Amino acid sequence: MIQSKLPHVGTTIFTVMSKLAAECGAINLSQGFPDFPIDDKLSELVNAAMRAGHNQYAPMPGLPGLREAIAAKVERLYGFRYDPDTEVTVASGGTQAIFTAIGAVVHPGDEVIIVDPAYDCYSPTVELFGGKPVHVRLGTDMKFDADAVAQAITPKTRMLMINTPHNPAGTILRDADMRRIIEMLRGTDIILLSDEVYEHLVFDGEPHASAINYPELRERAFVIFSFGKVFHTTGWKMGYALAPKEMMTEFRKVHQFNVFSANTPIQHALAAYMKEPANYEAVPSFYQAKRDRFANGMSKSRFKLLPCEGSYFQVADYSAISTEDDMTFAQRVARGFGVATIPLSPFYKEPPMNQRLLRFCFAKQDATLDAAIEKLCRI
């Protein structure tokens, strides 16, 4: 008999809800991925790389050209240059980079602070490596609660995981939050894991408060990014991690025996494509228009929308519609009303009592959003 290492873990809610959407023909606003095509230029670049024979292993930390392009883009946006040779590693997606960072530094018994609702890979990954997830919660309106986090710090805390823009909440961290984090980490050897995969999906003209902006944070941080969210290519599973040399050395020790290296032709394509700022600069306004279209349409529904400051997720309260728990309600909305969504409770160690929230992905064509809105307004 196999003794499970993750006895309480089932199949991720994203797979469950996307499968349900397919089964009952529901519009899929559950798992976060765009339903529109990618830029032809990007596909051409991948094809060209394959035809040029770039089909064998890339160097373990990533193609030098891509690491240089990443360092240049990060410097342009956040004013700090990571060394592409020693501080930048290309990963097979943000999730793999998070897994590798945790695996590299979390020892058995180490505590890792996770802020619920939290992206669902965090806690199981910590447990796989013998760490102890310590769960705190976001505060009212899904905003960061610095006091709650500070109180969870103990001499055993090895890592704090933060996420901005936040999935599933759709809120962002701001300068004042980052300053509180600096204070609480000062004088400790706690590592920060800053999941910034939605860096370009920050709305209403606000800046993205990257950990990279703050020397006291970046010198202790793994900062994780994703190409899928920026270039609408979630299925390519491409991302990267940044960290100071000493930390990145440990990261690469794990990375080399986990994936070894990421997809070669796609790395060539991304290196060329990301050099053009126009290819990512339009992303915030593009998604802000979708957020607004969805919010506008949903204002005629009985759902109450929470603030969406970033990411491509809108959280909505359905208390005015039903007292069912969110898993039951989400199933009913998918089967009975034809829209698949994500319930919030799987993102908690212990979901708050009587919380009735669903997450909607608005990374969809306008026609898809309009069709979903029409169905949701009938509930």
| Residue numbers at the binding site for ligand GLN (CB under 6 A) | 14, 31-32, 167
Complex with ligand GLN: residue 167 or 301, whichever CB lies closer: 167
DSSP assignment letter at 151: H
Give the DSSP H or E segment for 266: helix 264-273
6 is written with which tokens?
């993750």
Q: Minimum distance from CB of 32 to ligand GLN (Å)?
A: 3
174 forms beta bridges with none
Give how far Cα 350 sits from Cα of 44, 134, 376, Å: 46, 12, 28
14 vs 337 by CB, closer to ligand GLN = 14
The residue (of 123 and 167) whose beta carbon lies closer to ligand GLN is 167
Interatomic CA distance for residues 250 and 255, integer angstroms? 9
Q: What is the CA radius of gyration of the chain?
A: 20
Give the burial string for 230-259 (b: 16+ CB within 10 Å, else e): bbbbbebbbbbbbbbeebbebbbebbeeeb
The least distance separating ligand GLN from the CB of residue 357, rounded to whole angstroms, comes to: 14
Question: Given the complex with ligand GLN, which of 22 and 176 has the nearer CB atom?
Answer: 22
CB of 167 to ligand GLN, least distance (A): 5
Residue 109's alpha-carbon distances to 96, 146, 157, in angstroms, are 22, 24, 9
Query: 54-59: which pairs have CB atoms within 8 A and are 24 or more residues apart?
Result: 54/264, 54/265, 54/268, 55/264, 55/265, 56/264, 57/260, 57/261, 57/264, 58/90, 58/261, 58/262, 58/263, 58/264, 58/267, 59/261
Question: Side chain identity at 284, as an amino acid letter?
Answer: P
Q: How far is the CB of 229 from ligand GLN (least distance, A)?
A: 8
Contacts of 379 (CB under 8 A, 6+ apart): 301, 302, 303, 321, 333, 337
Of 15 and 55, CB closest to ligand GLN: 15
Cβ atoms of 219 and 189 within 8 Å: the answer is no
For ligand GLN, the closer CB: 33 or 273:
33
Q: How many CB atoms lie within 10 A of CB 3?
A: 5
> Least CB distance from residue 321 to ligand GLN, whole Å?
23
| Least separation in angstroms between CB 344 and ligand GLN | 12
Q: Which of 198, 203 has the CB closer to ligand GLN?
A: 198
Question: What are the counts of helices (DSSP H) followed by strands (DSSP E) for the chain?
Answer: 15, 13
Residue among 131 and 228 whose Cβ is closer to ligand GLN: 228
Q: Least CB distance from residue 199 to ligand GLN, whole Å? A: 14
Of 165, 164, 182, 250, the closest CA to residue 219 belongs to 182
Residue nearest to ligand GLN (CB): 32
Cβ closer to ligand GLN: 103 or 117?
117
For the bound state, the minimum distance from the C-beta of residue 289 to ligand GLN, rounded and expressed in Å, comes to 20
Min dist CB 150 to ligand GLN, Å, is 27
